Amino acid sequence: MFFKYLWRELAKRRKQTTLIASGLAVAIALVVVVAGVSDGIKQAQSQALSGLYGIGTDLTISKTQSFTPGQGGQRFQFGASGGTTTSSKQTFNRSRLEVARGSATLTQAQVDKVAATSGVATAVATLKLNATTFNGTLPTFGFNRGGQSSQSGQGSQSGQQGGNAFVPPTTSPSTAASPTASPSASASSTTSASTAPSGGFDGKGGSSFSITSFSVEGVSTSVTKVGPLTAATLTSGRLFTAADASKNVTVLDASYAKTNSLKVGKTVTMGGTRFTVIGIVQSSSASATTPSNAYIPIKIAQTLSGSTSAYTTVYVAATSSDVIDSTKSALQKTLGSTVTVSSESDLAANVSGSLATSSNLINQMGSWLALLVLLAAFATSILFTTSGVNRRVREFGTLKAIGWRSRRIVVQVMGESLVTGILGGVLGLALGVGAIAIINAVGPTLSASVSSGNFFGGPGGFGGQAMQSGQQSGSGGPGFGGPGGFQQQASNAMNIVLHSSVQPWMVGAAIGFAIIGGLLAGIFGGLRAARLSPAQALRSLA
């Protein structure tokens, strides 16, 4: 009798049933779409971050940056025989591999502590470096190269007899490094500093300098499950093996290799050492690059940069996603406040672009909108159900008169509401899944730019700039402004196609909301029916 009565009533009140179910369906569809898109955006963020931090990385650890005031910029110093001299010019070349000034490194002991922390499944440490090459061409100055240097002023090299020092002054170039020969300075020189330079790169006494810089990362050759290369795809050659640990071999980022016309088998000089290219890797996103331009074995990186047992970043994979937060807390406690431990959600703040905008939109406005619509659907369901009970006063009064208990009538009303709610839930789920399928078919593209925010040294930076100065009459050597330090910012800009998905929990949540909506309506309607006095119910219809 229960189900028969239930189905007949729902069928009879088709319009009301459809209205309530539709209201719930729209609300639930919105919840499913918001959840699906939010999930898709999270996946996109992970993809953006994995391009920088690798797949499988749950936590990253780095030392908080420090900058010593007055530290000044990079210096390239050349001794008397530091370059190659011809009759018309002197050429200089220096290649350096180093952790940029002001950057902080982690010690082996700290890395060991990380690996030993509960919740850490895998920990791999890398060393991020900068490979800088200075190339310069100077004219002949007419210096008595056996005598004193005529260069004076701030930033002058000290202690180098007969040498040429090209020291970027820390103040304005116009006030520094413009040699003004003091009468006493070059007494022994037979050609005074007042002689205009000649030769040089242009044959007229001009100077030319270029500084090229690219990022290098020392990586483990044995642990490959975690780290910056996990998100990269090998496009030619091979990746590192354990046997490469002490070899001068390198894996290059595809964009960098292409720009510099490098391929497998060729060599690259880093820190004055030739490295053989063994592989080329491509970022998971076609529009992005891998975190560094070149990758070399960690031990080689440490040796060449003079940073033995030093690391700049530790990539950590947790034993399970449930323990990420507790592991993060444990690591922060173990390593102290000078070290930064970041999870993916912390790093998500580094994502900018339309991906970040969409994330904010969905998480804030989308979630609230879905909640409001859901509440409105619940309220509508309750109102319609209660109104339906009011219209059935005679019916319920009669049933009570012939002996039906209030409880039985309440169950009847709740059953009708629950079925309506479930109908709305199923319809809503279908609508939501359909909407997500449409979104995926359209495939909106989101731009994402991710920065790790590591800034080394002072402001400014060089990237392969060539600096040339013309002949300066009445002056000696060239002076060039010296912005200090280099900027090493790991960044990754890419376009990601949004792919939303329907997770099992969303299906459960949709049905759950539907049931809640149905139950709420049934409770309110049932209470109304239970409070009906049969006498009043029958009397009201007399």
Partner 1 sequence: MYELTNVVKTYKSKRGPVTAMDDVTVSIADGDMVSIQGPTGGGKSTLLQMLGGLDRPTSGTVELDGERIDKLGDLALADVRAHKIGFVFQNYNLIPTLTAQENVETALVPLGLPESERREKALAALASVQLADRATHLPGELSGGQQQRVAIARAIVKEPAVILADEPTGNLDEATRDEIITVLENLWREKGITLVIVTHDSQVARRAKTHLRIEAGKVSVTKK
531 binds partner 1 (CB under 8 A): no
Residues 344-403 that bind partner 1 (CB under 8 A): 394-395, 397-403
Q: How far is the CB of 343 from partner 1 (least distance, A)?
A: 58
Q: Give yes or no for residue 1 binding partner 1 (CB under 8 A).
A: yes
Q: In angstroms, rounded to a whole number, what is the distance separating the alpha carbons of residues 344 and 26?
A: 33
Give 329 or 390: the residue with its C-beta nearer to partner 1: 390
Tokens of 433: 């899944």
**In the complex, least distance from residue 9 CB atom to partner 1, rounded to whole angstroms:** 6
249 backbone φψ class: left, alpha, beta (φ>0; ψ -120 to 50): beta
Lookup: tokens for 270: 């880093």
Binding part of the chain for partner 1, among 3-11, 44-52, 62-70, 246-254 by CB under 8 A, reads 3-11
Q: Does 3 bind partner 1 (CB under 8 A)?
A: no
Minimum CB separation from partner 1 for residue 399, in Å? 7
Q: Residue 4, interface with partner 1 (CB under 8 A)?
A: yes
Cβ neighbours of 442 (radius 10 Å): 10
**Of positions 406, 449, 469, 491, contacts partner 1 by CB under 8 A:** 406
Cα 463 to Cα 6: distance, rounded to the nearest angstrom: 76
Distance CA 35, CA 24 (A): 16
Helix (H) or strand (E) holding 49: helix 14-53
Among 121, 519, 523, 538, binds partner 1 (CB under 8 A): 538
Q: Report whether 73 contacts 462 (CB < 8 A).
A: no
Name residues contacting partner 1, limited to 5-24 (CB under 8 A): 5, 8-9, 11-12
How far is 311 from 352, CA to CA, in rounded Å? Answer: 27
Minimum distance from CB of 19 to partner 1 (Å)? 18
Closest distance of CB 403 from partner 1, Å = 3
Tell me how far apart the alpha carbons of residues 466 and 464 are, in angstroms, rounded to a whole number: 6
> Which residue in 404, 442, 429, 398 sits closest to 513, CA to CA?
429
Question: Is residue 539 close enough to count as binding partner 1 by CB under 8 A?
Answer: yes
Which of 37/537 has CB closer to partner 1?
A: 537
User: Which residue, 437 or 541, has its beta carbon nearer to partner 1?
Assistant: 541
Residue 286's alpha-carbon distances to 51, 318, 494, in angstroms, are 11, 28, 8
Tokens 């049969």 label which residue? 534
Closer CB to partner 1, 274 or 408, in the complex:
408
Please tell me the number of Cα atoms within 13 Å of 355 on its side-chain side.
29
Positive or negative torsion for Cα 466, 471, 472, 475: positive
Exactly one of 116, 243, 365, 535 binds partner 1 (CB under 8 A); which one?
Answer: 535
Pick the binder of partner 1 from 346, 408, 466, 503 (CB under 8 A).
408
Draw the binding track, 89-128, toward partner 1 (x: CB under 8 A; -: no contact): ----------------------------------------
Count residues near partner 1 (CB under 8 A).
Answer: 27
Within 10 angstroms of residue 283's Cβ, the number of other Cβ atoms is 21
- Smallest distance, partner 1 to C-beta of residue 542, A: 6
Least separation in angstroms between residue 515's CB and partner 1 is 24
Cβ-contact 286, 258 below 8 angstroms: no
Nearest residue to 387 (alpha-carbon basis) of 13, 12, 7 = 13
Binding stretches for partner 1 (CB under 8 A) = 1, 4-5, 8-9, 11-12, 394-395, 397-406, 408, 533-535, 538-539, 541-542
